[in-house]
Amino acid sequence: MNILIQGGRVIDPTQHWDELADLYIQDGEISALGEAPAGFQPDEVIDASGQIVCPGLIDLCTNLREPGYTRKGTIASETAAAAAGGITTLVVTPDTQPLVETAAVAELIQDRAADVGFARVLPMGALTRNLDGEQLAPLHGLASSGCVAFTNMRNPIASSQTLMRCLEYAATHDLLVIFQAQDNALAANGCMHDDTTSTRLGLNGIPEAAETIEVSRCLLLVEETGVRAHFGQLSCERSVRMVEAARERGLDVTADVAIQHLLLTDESVNGFNAAYHLQPPLRSQLDRAGLRQGLVTGTIAAICSDHQPHDPIAKQAPFAATEPGMSGLETLLPLSLSLVEQQLIELPQLIETLTAAPARILGIEAGTLEIGSPADICVFDPNAEWEVSEDSLRSAGKNTPFLGQTLKGRVNVTLMDGRIVFRR
Amino acid sequence: MVSGTLSVDALLDKMARETRTLIDHRNLTDPLMIGIRTGGVWLAERLHQQLELQSPLGVMDISFYRDDFTQAGINPKVQPTQLPCATEGRHILLVDDVIMTGRTIRAAMNELFDYGRPASVTLITLLDLQRRELPIQADVIGGTLALGPDQIVKLNGPDTLSLTIRQRD
Amino acid sequence: MFEANDPNSIQLTADGQLRHFLTTEGLPRELLTEILDTADSFVDMSQQQVKKVPLLRGKTVANLFFENSTRTLSTFELAAKRLSADVLNLNINTSSTKKGETLKDTLMTLEAMHSDMFVVRHSDSGAAHFIAQHVTPNVAVINAGDGRHAHPTQAMLDMLTIRRHKGDFAPLKVAIVGDILHSRVARSQIHALRTLGADEIRVIAPKTLLPRHIEALGVKVYTEMARGLRDVDVIMMLRLQKERMQSALLPSESEFYKLYGLNRDKLAYAKPDAVVMHPGPINRGVEIESEVADGPRSLILDQVTNGIAVRMAVLSKAMSGQLSQRSESGQEEQA
């Protein structure tokens, strides 16, 4: 199928493109920018005037809830939501039921996603069996079945020796380990950042040390073992400084942040609003500033959604009894665009954090419009305003604190492999 | 329409005479006089003296018995009702400054009955504004007054008693 | 007045009347003073022959206690009955709520019983706010203690007790001693004292029992009694629970008593006319010496008496606020 995307502002940091130009797609691949290829006849013309054309977004951390928690969402519903959010590649966490610790489950997820055909789904595999921090999971086999990275999520690996051995094994096969750094004992029972707001509300706090201690331990072991490593969803300013220092010493570790942590603080929890119950928790203004600064300096290379769709009942209880997480696939782009509006970073740099950087971190060939690459494309209107509502969200999870708010920036067309998977 | 101030003393004399007649006529032995806060108390103090009653004067606050709880809320400055002796079987002389809708007296009687069952209740008021919403009448009245729709009347005290009539704010 | 997006403004009607009583935080000084004034008149009344008034006649007050408490439950019950209300006591077994019946489900079942008011005690911070947000309109919610967040009626009865003995709050130095970290009473007391204009509010505890950044609530932090009690007018002791010895927060009861227990020697650090209070039940020999608890400076028994009056005031004010929302505005004056 030949597709012409006409008159848009094409931005691709990998190719250093930022210009008004036409984009040509043939046989599922990008075939040209600017001049039509010889003999090109479009089957479909997409009018992108006034809009941005960029690589399809890559979301480094999402939860699609299938298999096992389909009350909250399914691969079908959530990949459809992703497509509506301009996201063409999703990395999913291994905490499905059963866990992604067998080839069968890894393949099930990818097959299901392919059947539905809205977005690419790349599973993360469990680092230890049962995520219990004791025994290694079959990392090599899982990698062969499509797992792009391995994580123990926030489950503790109590013994540092065990952790070191897991990292050594992963390093043996050049596998990427993603840390969601949390010291379990310090975080125990906590449901929000440990500071003035938690004191006033009488809610158990998760101190900063719960993240920084684990970041520190992991950094030292990464250095020791040489494993490829990435820190997912940092929440503390101090963690950013630690990663920065490690990088300055020459350690090639990367980090991402969930978009909400760049915009919100723990003060939002006032009034016990469970929509702001997140993991890791929203922290102080100082932490938010540090995370934003980390994005600017490049210590934080990527932004993700940390999408956690929930059924309504999960958020309808006193704060500590609610389940953490927000539904974020469809708000990722408009919320990220607000960083440009706030003049924190420029648009091309923002797009890099959502496309090329995640691809680089994962070591996959994606997040680019390079000629010949698969046509995963997002066409969006940066000025279109829309209200976040239960109707406007396609995800099964309506649990977002931005419900009822008007956001700026809306995807109009999403293509994957040169196929239109979403059109408004 | 009346306006300005009125003399209370003349009305008080009349009320004292009529009450004396009533006490004798109805055989109200050893009556117990109770004034309703605040204006009724001022009046009751003077009547109690003029009638030379034996039993000490009682004071009643009806704030908690009002039926307009929803509109007016609770009056935070309530002082407790102080009845010097049991009301069971006694002849009560209830004194208030004004009777208008009748609701205050209804509240006062409810409160009175929570304290015990009196033998009788006689109602004495300075003014009757004749805007009843309940079937309650005073036995002794100083005078009747027809106010205009925007007028209110107020008893001033406690040292010298006087009545003022003015426009509602 | 309050701000529209102040989360504690859920407690007030559009014209500033009380309609839920969830926390002392964020309530205007005038309102707290009105509650104290109303409670004062109820204290006087409790010494009368007729202790009942018909303010809540025909209304149903449901006590929802998800956490056991004989003393708080019985004072609320007594308060409601003295207002002539019908009372429903629902001791909700927490194990059944854990089995899958959520708080929301419980609420919906209860709503069918058509109560006018819920008095709620729950082990989760924010439970009373949650109930207030999910209950049918016109039902008042009174917080009888939620997790570590607030115990506003306790704080108010403490304020009433202080006012009845010391008069004005402005010159007072008040010290709160003990397990501040886990105390909903302390938090409510701090907010109330600040709003009512106390000169200085101090907390005295070991670091393990102090919440993070408690100074941000407007208090001075002390870790020893000698300095913390100097020049203090009111000493409010908190209860220490046995579990604290299990989680590396404290080594033993005897060490706590030695350093923070209020005995006659430590009482001497405070002003000569300082008063001693405790929300109860007291642990003799752990937080407080018997001679002090039973001594002439102790207001502990007054607190109990005042508790009924304060709860009567809160119940009637909240009901009044709810009813004023329901009824059309009537300007008729009674006579």
Taking residues A185-199, what's their average pLDDT?
Answer: 95
Residues paired with A258 in a beta bridge: A304
**pLDDT computed for residue C105 by the predictor:** 81
Asked whether C and A share 3 or more beta-carbon pairs under 8 angstroms, the answer is yes
Does any CB of chain A come closer than 8 Å to the CB of residue C126?
Answer: yes
Taking residues A401-419, what's their average pLDDT?
Answer: 97
How many CA atoms does the CB half-sphere of B103 hold within 13 Å? Answer: 14
Predicted confidence band of residue A68 (pLDDT cuts 50, 70, 90): very high
Backbone angles phi, psi at A369, to 5 degrees: -110, 20
Nearest alpha-carbon partner for A181 in A142, A238, A249: A238
Q: What is the DSSP string of C314-325?
A: HHHHHHHHHHHH
Best mutation target, A200, A283, A323, to test chain C (most C CBs within 10 A):
A200
Burial B109-123 (b: 16+ CB within 10 A, else e): bebbebbeebeebbb
What does the H/E/C string look like for C218-244?
CCEEECCHHHHCCCCCEEEECCCCHHH
**Pairing of β B162-167 and β C60-65:** unpaired
What does the H/E/C string look like for chain B?
CCCEEEEHHHHHHHHHHHHHHHHHHHCCCCCEEEEECCHHHHHHHHHHHHCCCCCCCEEECCHHHCCCHHHHCCCCCCCCCECCCCCCCCEEEEEEEEECCCHHHHHHHHHHHHHCCCCEEEEEEEEECCCCCCCCCCCEEEEECCCCCCEEEEEECCCCCEEEEEECC
Taking residues B16-28, what's their average pLDDT?
Answer: 95
Backbone angles phi, psi at A204, to 5 degrees: -65, 130
A306 classed as catalytic = yes
Q: Are A369 and A11 in contact (CB under 8 A)?
A: no
* CB contacts, 8 Å: A317 with chain C: 102-104, 124, 130
> What interhelical angle do C127-134 and C103-111 show, nearest 10?
50
* CB contacts, 8 Å: A200 with chain C: 25, 187, 216-217
ipTM value of the model? 0.89
Q: Are A386 and A392 in contact (CB under 8 A)?
A: yes
Residue A128 has pLDDT above 70, yes or no: yes
**pLDDT computed for residue B72 by the predictor:** 66
Q: What is the rounded distance in angstroms from the CA atom of residue B24 to the CA atom of residue C110?
A: 59
Backbone angles phi, psi at C20, to 5 degrees: -135, 150
**pLDDT computed for residue A259 by the predictor:** 98
**pLDDT computed for residue C328 by the predictor:** 45
Which helix (H) or strand (E) segment holds residue A4: the answer is: strand A3-12
Nearest alpha-carbon partner for A206 in A196, A192, A218: A192
Q: Report chain C's terminal Cα–Cα distance, integer Å.
A: 32
**pLDDT computed for residue C110 by the predictor:** 78
Q: What is the rounded distance in angstroms from the CA atom of residue C279 to the CA atom of residue A39?
A: 87
pLDDT in tens, C180-222: 999 999 999 999 999 999 999 999 999 999 998 999 999 999 9
* Domains (range + CATH), chain C: 7-150+305-326 (3.40.50.1370), 152-300 (3.40.50.1370)
Does any CB of chain A come closer than 8 Å to the CB of residue C146?
Answer: yes
Predicted confidence band of residue A198 (pLDDT cuts 50, 70, 90): very high
Residues paired with C284 in a beta bridge: C288
What is the model's pTM?
Answer: 0.88
Q: Are A413 and A46 in contact (CB under 8 A)?
A: yes
Taking residues A289-316, what's their average pLDDT?
Answer: 97
Q: CB–CB of C212 and A196 under 8 A? A: yes
Query: How many residues does the structure list for chain A?
Result: 424
Report the percent of chain A where pLDDT is more than 90: 99
Residue of B nearest to C314 (CA): B74
**pLDDT computed for residue C327 by the predictor:** 64
B7 vs B28 pLDDT, higher one = B28
Evaluated on CA atoms A47, A52, A58, A60, the torsion sign reads negative
Q: What does the block give as tokens for C63? A: 């006590």
Q: What is the rounded distance in angstroms from the CA atom of residue A192 to the CA atom of residue A279?
A: 8
Architecture in CATH for domain B8-66+78-147: 3-Layer(aba) Sandwich (3.40)
Strand order in the sheet with A120-126: A57-62, A87-92, A120-126, A149-151, A176-179, A228-231, A253-258, A302-304
Nearest alpha-carbon partner for A205 in A227, A226, A183, A186: A186
Taking residues C112-122, what's their average pLDDT?
Answer: 90
Residue written as token pair 């004798």: B24
Residue A110 has pLDDT above 60, yes or no: yes
Mean pLDDT for all residues in chain A: 97
**pLDDT computed for residue C2 by the predictor:** 34
Which chains border C (3 or more CB–CB pairs < 8 Å)? A, B
Residue C92 has pLDDT above 80, yes or no: no
**pLDDT computed for residue B66 by the predictor:** 84
B38 vs B141 pLDDT, higher one = B141
Nearest alpha-carbon partner for A288 in A234, A325, A334, A335: A234
* CB contacts, 8 Å: A271 with chain C: 7-8, 10, 129
Distances (CA, A) of C252 to A135, A148, C63, C239, C240: 39, 51, 36, 15, 11
Nearest alpha-carbon partner for C53 in C63, C41, C61, C65: C41
For chain B, the domains span: 8-66+78-147
Q: CB–CB of C335 and B99 under 8 A? A: yes
Evaluated on CA atoms A144, A146, A150, A155, the torsion sign reads negative
* CB contacts, 8 Å: B83 with chain C: 49
For chain A, the domains span: 3-52+374-385+404-423, 54-362
* CB contacts, 8 Å: A319 with chain C: 124-126, 130
Residue of A nearest to C187 (CA): A200
Residues paired with A386 in a beta bridge: A407
Q: Are B152 and B165 in contact (CB under 8 A)?
A: yes
Asked whether A and B share 3 or more beta-carbon pairs under 8 angstroms, the answer is no
**Pairing of β C117-122 and β A406-416:** unpaired
Q: Which CATH superfamily is domain A3-52+374-385+404-423 in?
A: Urease, subunit C, domain 1 (2.30.40.10)
Alpha carbon A207 to its chain's center: 24
Q: What does the block give as tokens for A53? A: 């054309």
Does any CB of chain A come closer than 8 Å to the CB of residue C122?
Answer: yes
Nearest chain B Cα distance for residue C324, angstroms: 5
Q: Are B74 and C55 in contact (CB under 8 A)?
A: yes
CB-closest option in B74, B77, B152 to C320: B74
Residue B3 has pLDDT above 70, yes or no: no
Does any CB of chain C come closer than 8 Å to the CB of residue A383?
Answer: no
Backbone angles phi, psi at C118, to 5 degrees: -115, 130
**pLDDT computed for residue C4 by the predictor:** 39
Q: What is the rounded distance in angstroms from the CA atom of residue C134 to the CA atom of residue A100?
A: 38
Q: Which DSSP state fits C96?
A: H
Q: What is the rounded distance in angstroms from the CA atom of residue A261 to the CA atom of residue A235?
A: 7
Q: Are C215 and C189 in contact (CB under 8 A)?
A: no
Nearest alpha-carbon partner for A414 in A122, A89, A56, A90: A56
Q: Are A136 and A169 in contact (CB under 8 A)?
A: yes
pLDDT in tens, C305-321: 999 999 999 999 999 99
Taking residues C238-250, what's their average pLDDT?
Answer: 84
Nearest alpha-carbon partner for C311 in C182, C165, C190, C140: C140
Q: What is the rounded distance in angstroms from the CA atom of residue C154 to the CA atom of residue C10?
A: 20
Report the percent of chain C where pLDDT is more than 90: 72
Contacts 24+ apart (CB under 8 A), B149-158: B151/B1, B151/B3, B152/C333, B153/B98, B153/B127, B153/B129, B155/B8, B155/B39, B155/B42, B155/B43, B155/B97, B155/B98, B155/B126, B157/B38, B157/B39, B157/B42, B158/B42, B158/B45
Which helix (H) or strand (E) segment holds residue A406: the answer is: strand A406-416
Contacts 24+ apart (CB under 8 A), B105-108: B105/B134, B105/B136, B106/B67, B106/B134, B106/B136, B107/B62, B107/B65, B107/B66, B107/B67, B108/B36, B108/B60, B108/B62, B108/B65
Q: What does the block give as tokens for B95? A: 């004194």
Select A54-362's CATH number: 3.40.720.10, 3.20.20.140, 2.40.128.520, 3.40.50.720: 3.20.20.140
Residue pairs spanning B and C at CB distance below 8 A = 74
Taking residues A188-213, what's their average pLDDT?
Answer: 96
Backbone angles phi, psi at C219, to 5 degrees: -125, 160
